[in-house]
Amino acid sequence: MDWAGLMRLGLRELGLAPEAFWKLTPVELLVKLGADASRPAFSRARLNELARAFPDRNRKTDHGL
Where is pLDDT greater, at 2 or 38?
2
Across 1-65, the runs of DSSP E, i.e. the strands, are: none
Q: How far is CA 16 from the centre of its chain?
A: 20
* pLDDT of res. 10: 92
24-63 pLDDT, tens per residue? 998 898 889 887 756 666 788 988 998 999 998 776 666 6
Which distant-in-sequence residues (6+ apart) come within 8 Å of 1 by Cβ? 26
* pLDDT of res. 49: 92
Q: How many domains does the chain contain in total?
A: 1
- Domain containing 55 equals 3-62
- The region that residue 63 occupies, defined by phi over 0 for left and psi between -120 and 50 for alpha, beta otherwise, is left
